[in-house]
Amino acid sequence: MKEEQVQDSNEIQDNAINEDNAADTAETVSETDAFTADEVSGGNTETGDDLKRLQGLADEFQGRALRVQADFDNFRRRTVKEKEELAQYATSKLVAELLPVMDNFERALATAPATPEFEAFTKGVNMIFRQLEGVLKNEGLTAMETVAQPFNPEYHQAIMQVESEEYEEGIVTEEVQKGYLLKDKVLRPAMVKVSM
């Protein structure tokens, strides 16, 4: 019974405290509302300055949000473009490592003896070379046409200048090593001799 009385008195005290808090909150809200009404009526000049300051902050944050959105859109576009390029040129390292093999095949075929004993062997090596060339062509590899073309440092690597009566100055006269393009990108520049 005593416990019930203590509990009832605690509840009464809690209710009284809650009523006091509610009254304080109501007073604060009514004071705030009155203050806001004064501000809106324009009675206080500081309030106008505060509104301008707050509007400036809102504009600044709006601008920041728009810049962040634009940065994100640019990042997304750049990432998509990089993925496409990566997929397009994913085989470039392997193809670049196979270029010396292609060069060696060409040298072997150029120096093959023309005797009947080696004719079948030479024909077989030539077929293997054509097969490798076809596979690489399907990947987008193309040999550059360089002789009689104007020298272009993006596509050619000049190793020597020679005097030439046949070509004007700045024209490629001879190709020392083939250059290759992988799709539209230079994989290996051609080593050339240029007329002077």
Start-end of H helices in 89-164: 92-110, 119-138
Angle at 19 between CA 15 and CA 20, to 5 degrees: 120
State how far the Cα of 68 lies from the Cα of 58, in Å rounded to an integer. Answer: 15
Across 17-31, 111-125, 129-143, 158-172, least confident range: 17-31
The yes-or-no verdict on residue 47 having pLDDT over 90 is no
User: 173 and 149 in contact (C-beta within 8 Å)?
Assistant: no
Residue 193, classed as helix, strand or coil, is strand
pLDDT band at 17 (very low <50, low <70, confident <90, very high): low
